[in-house]
């Protein structure tokens, strides 16, 4: 168990170092950082002083070490486009993306699990077939197109819901702004989170259905039925509980995907989150912001993967046995 | 060459094989293949069948901008699917856009398959340090969504090169970015198959008779792993087309001067509020039709080539 955790930790560390190296190369060699910071009229001596102040006259290894130190202390440089510290910008945008992602995941889970259970239990009903066929089309629909169709129907034609922005937001504490506490904020959240959650919902639904069908075929379900247990107890207490183990893992892993596709959804709905910021910074060649995003996203993914791996081991004892066996075999 | 050799040995000809038999008996596969073929043919023949040449700025008449489907413009032209904000005929733009999307998708799948097959063969055959390093990189990359990797590669290249160079290189860069996000699957699959094939008698026999390792890899093992590669490639084609469309939609893919399905939807998105739905829905519908057909074809191919999976 300890070796497993260590192995995963070292992998996460490797990812972080690679991301830091990439962002270092980006910062150091794309354009001239000095040129980007001093004006056109700066003299050569000024430039030299700036170069020294930024530490650019030092060996590359020392510069990289300095970058690692900066990242560790949360100093990510200044955005070329906004002229304010990148860390401040990222923190401003993070709540919007997190609220969107969590809501999308909630929608996907709260709709996907019951639909999956229902289609598994009523395997031959017409409704099940319709739901399954619809989910196939849902998989083929690209996220941005779902967003556009939802905007067209609910904002342009029906005029029920707003199609862009976060609505009115409320400050929570020092650095968190939330749209969850106002009516307009909640209304603004509906379409984006639905767009982001729809694909995950079909995925979760199909997974739950497949797992449930598998479990319903096992001997202990037959035995439970033979014992005369009520159908509801068998379905929900025995079957569903065992179905949920792999589902939890998949939900965890899908968080990464949600995060990636939030970039697309934020572009469609002009949602002021991290994704929109990144797309804009790509178009404006805002190198410090891009470099920091790289490190931030590597950190996020390393954390998610680590958490999912550990959760998996904690939930399912068979994995523990498997990794032990694999270790002794190799 | 190989076809001739098989025929001489008296083996079944290709049209008598299981694959063709399965194909003719599966209506869904037939429909999927027919619609894929139709779309591909229409896109490749865009220059011939499109009413107007979308790549030629002279074909756009601003006076006919944003006309709904089925209307005739002031210039007397008829627009079956309407026009875009520059007065371009949507039908022509969709056909040329599909051609662009197909070309970017197919090239990136080919490039990804090439990289993946070579790395998979080499890693699986030689093992050792190279294998360990490449497979570890593959593991790490697999924990990131492909679309994010393509976006970051493409986006970072944009910031590295200046604008003029970038506009010239946009499409090759896009192809490389998508290929770089998809190679892992090929490499892992091929490597796994090579590990199995390596222990078989025909490979051992070739080794004993002194055939060079490169030759064993290229002409003995490679043909036996191509079936799986074909399945992955078909599944990936739809994914690659979607990735291209998504990147072009968020504005980091194909430059707006050369329409692709994604960039057309992007243009339409800006005019959604004026009620001009056809500008984005037309290319969007084409995108969905294309991806759905290719996906169904891929599903059928997977089941046909690998009967063990068909009940899963």
CA distance A185 to A189: 6
Residue A256, chain B, CB below 8 Å: the answer is yes
CA distance A81 to A83: 6
Contact A266, A97 (CB under 8 A): yes
For residues A286, A291, A293, A299, the Cα torsion angle rounded to the nearest 10 degrees is: 180
Neighbours of B195 (CB within 10 A): 15
Cα dihedral sign, B229-B231-B237-B240: negative
CA distance A122 to A102: 30
Tell me which chain B residue has its CA closest to the CA of residue A210.
B312
pTM of the model: 0.80
The ipTM of this complex is 0.76
Contact A192, A148 (CB under 8 A): no
Tell me which chain A residue has its CA closest to the CA of residue B286.
A141
- Asked if B291 and A137 come within 8 Å (Cβ–Cβ), the reply is no
Contact residues on chain A for B295, CB-CB shorter than 8 A: 139-140
Q: How far is CA A235 from the centre of its chain?
A: 32
The CA distance from A285 to the nearest CA of chain B, in Å, is 5
Cβ-based contacts under 8 A for chains A and B: 112
The pLDDT tens digits along chain B (312 residues) read 444 444 455 555 656 666 677 677 777 778 888 888 888 888 887 777 767 776 666 666 666 666 677 666 666 666 666 777 776 777 888 888 888 899 999 999 999 999 999 999 999 888 888 888 888 888 878 777 878 888 888 877 777 777 677 777 888 888 988 898 889 989 998 998 898 888 888 988 988 998 888 888 888 888 888 888 888 888 889 889 988 998 888 888 787 777 888 888 888 787 777 767 777 888 888 888 888 888 888 888 877 776 544 333
CA distance B299 to B295: 6
Q: Which of A15, A144, A155, A202 to mutate to test the interface with B (most CBs of B within 10 A)?
A: A144
The CA distance from A152 to the nearest CA of chain B, in Å, is 7
Contact A116, A209 (CB under 8 A): yes
Cα dihedral sign, A125-B304-B116-B295: negative
pLDDT in tens, A240-287: 877 777 787 778 778 888 888 888 899 888 888 888 888 888 877 777
The CA distance from B262 to the nearest CA of chain A, in Å, is 9
């Amino acid at each position: 168990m300890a070796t497993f955790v260590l192995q995963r930790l070292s992998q996460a560390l490797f990812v972080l170092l690679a991301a830091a190296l990439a962002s270092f190369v980006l910062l150091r060699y794309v354009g001239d950082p000095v040129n980007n910071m001093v004006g056109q009229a700066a003299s050569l001596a000024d430039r030299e002083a700036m170069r020294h102040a930024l530490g650019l006259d030092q060996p590359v290894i020392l510069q990289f070490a300095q970058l690692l130190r900066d990242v560790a202390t949360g100093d990510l440089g200044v955005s070329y486009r906004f002229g304010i510290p990148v860390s401040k910008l990222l923190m401003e945008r993070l709540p919007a993306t997190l609220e969107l992602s969590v809501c999308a995941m909630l929608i996907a889970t709260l709709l996907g699990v019951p639909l999956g259970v229902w289609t598994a239990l009523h395997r031959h009903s017409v409704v099940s077939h319709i739901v399954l066929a619809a989910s196939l089309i849902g998989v083929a629909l690209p996220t941005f197109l779902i967003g556009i169709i939802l905007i067209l129907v609910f904002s342009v034609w029906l005029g029920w819901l707003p199609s862009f922005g976060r609505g009115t937001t409320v400050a929570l504490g020092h650095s968190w702004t939330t749209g969850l506490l106002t009516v307009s904020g909640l209304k603004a959240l509906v379409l984006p989170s639905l767009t982001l959650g729809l694909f995950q919902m079909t995925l979760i639904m199909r997974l739950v259905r497949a797992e449930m069908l598998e479990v319903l075929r096992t001997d202990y379900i037959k035995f439970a039925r033979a014992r005369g247990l009520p159908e509801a107890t068998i379905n929900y207490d025995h079957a569903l509980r065992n179905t949920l183990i792999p589902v939890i893992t998949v939900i965890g892993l899908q968080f990464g995907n949600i995060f990636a596709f939030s970039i697309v959804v934020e572009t469609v709905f002009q949602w002021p989150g991290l994704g929109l910021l990144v797309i804009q910074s790509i178009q404006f060649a805002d190198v410090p912001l891009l470099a920091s995003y790289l490190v931030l996203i590597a950190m996020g993914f390393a954390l998610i993967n680590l958490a999912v791996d550990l959760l998996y081991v904690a939930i399912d004892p068979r994995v523990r046995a498997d990794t032990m066996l694999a270790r002794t075999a190799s | 060459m190989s076809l001739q050799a098989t025929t001489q040995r008296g083996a079944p000809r290709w049209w008598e094989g299981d694959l063709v038999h399965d194909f003719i008996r599966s209506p869904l596969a037939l429909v999927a293949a027919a619609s894929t073929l139709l779309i591909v043919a229409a896109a490749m023949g865009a220059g011939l069948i499109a009413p107007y040449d979308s790549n030629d700025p002279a074909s756009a008449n601003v006076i006919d901008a944003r006309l709904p489907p089925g209307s005739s413009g002031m210039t007397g032209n008829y627009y079956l699917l309407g026009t875009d904000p520059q007065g371009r005929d949507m039908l022509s733009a969709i056909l040329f856009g599909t051609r662009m999307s197909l070309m970017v998708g197919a090239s990136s799948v080919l490039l990804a398959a090439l990289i993946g097959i070579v790395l998979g063969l080499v890693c699986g055959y030689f093992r050792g340090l190279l294998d360990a390093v490449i497979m570890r990189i593959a593991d790490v990359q697999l924990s990131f969504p492909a679309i994010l990797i393509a976006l970051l590669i493409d986006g970072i290249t944009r910031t590295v090169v200046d604008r003029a160079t970038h506009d010239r290189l946009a499409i090759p860069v896009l192809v490389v970015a998508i290929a770089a996000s998809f190679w892992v699957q090929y490499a892992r699959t091929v490597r796994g198959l090579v590990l199995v094939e390596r222990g078989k008698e025909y490979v051992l026999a070739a080794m004993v008779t002194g055939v060079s390792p490169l030759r064993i890899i290229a002409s003995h093992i490679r043909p036996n792993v191509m079936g799986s590669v074909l399945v992955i490639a078909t599944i990936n084609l739809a994914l690659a087309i979607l990735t291209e469309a998504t990147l072009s939609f968020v504005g980091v893919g194909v430059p707006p001067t050369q329409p692709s399905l994604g960039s057309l939807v992007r243009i339409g998105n800006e005019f959604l509020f004026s009620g001009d739905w056809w500008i984005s829905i037309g290319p969007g519908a084409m995108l969905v039709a294309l991806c759905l057909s290719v996906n169904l074809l891929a599903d059928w191919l997977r089941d046909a080539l690998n009967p063990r999976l068909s009940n899963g």
